[in-house]
Structure 1
């Protein structure tokens, strides 16, 4: 009986996620960081290149937003699934990681949704906090 309840709950949660335009596999994260001393002029050109590359080469990147004020920058990223997030991680590592980490100091990473083991391993150096979805909807 518990097995049937688990299957029913799985379909219920997955069905509500799919109905509102989100997949049950969506992975999101929010990163906060500070601009390193002397790097303020490098921020916008770097982020513009990163946004352009992500938009052009990563169809599984659903949201890729940077917001900031002064030396504080926040990132909100949303991926269709773990595979799309890992594609981004690979592209970031190959093309931008060194410059990015020289420009910013990451102060926190919070990951939402069903992060897979490979994603957790890739994000481990930043000591993220993980929050799987327990309820909600999007419009």
Structure 2
């Protein structure tokens, strides 16, 4: 059974905060890559006009996400929410009940796979 959890987080970037956004992104990528081996994908994308950001994250399992959330809360949450406003949060895969509880405040949408393949 596949225990991966992945999501797409859509965010609005606060006007005039593009430079701070790029520094935050760089810091978060560096820390995640260096300290979270069970983070499988961590990809940030920005709209051409610099007003929207999508973050695609994929984790080996719910335990890996909980580690990421702890790091995020300790080191980045204040900066993140000062610069970015979530507009949509869609979670896929097999999140545990504990992870769903941890993410409940973000009001995510959960989608269940019904077809396709994974290589």
TM-score (norm 1): 0.80
Greater relative contact order (Cα 8 A, min sep 6): structure 1 or 2?
Answer: 2
In the alignment, does 2:23 pair up with 1:39? no
Contact 1:28/1:78 (CA < 8 Å) preserved in 2?
A: yes
State the 1:38 CA deviation: 2.9
State the 1:115 CA deviation: 1.0
Q: Distance in 2 between matches of 1:104 and 1:59?
A: 26
Q: Distance in 2 between matches of 1:99 and 1:124?
A: 21
More helix by share: 1
| 1:28 equivalent in structure 2 | 6
Q: Distance in 2 between matches of 1:38 and 1:47?
A: 16
Q: Distance in 2 between matches of 1:99 and 1:105?
A: 11
Which runs of 5 or more residues in structure 2 are unaligned? none
| 1:108 equivalent in structure 2 | 88
Instruction: Describe the SS at the equivalent of 1:78.
Output: strand
Q: Distance in 1 between matches of 2:64 and 2:22?
A: 25
| 1:71 equivalent in structure 2 | 51
Larger Cα-atom Rg: 1
RMSD across aligned C-alpha pairs, in angstroms? 1.0
Contact 1:108/1:126 (CA < 8 Å) preserved in 2?
A: no
TM-score (norm 2): 0.93
Q: Deviations over 1:78-118 (max 9, x none)?
A: 00000001110111011101100111000010000111122
State the 1:37 CA deviation: 2.5
Structure 2 counterparts to residues 1-139 of structure 1, below 5 A? 14=1, 24-69=2-47, 70-139=50-119
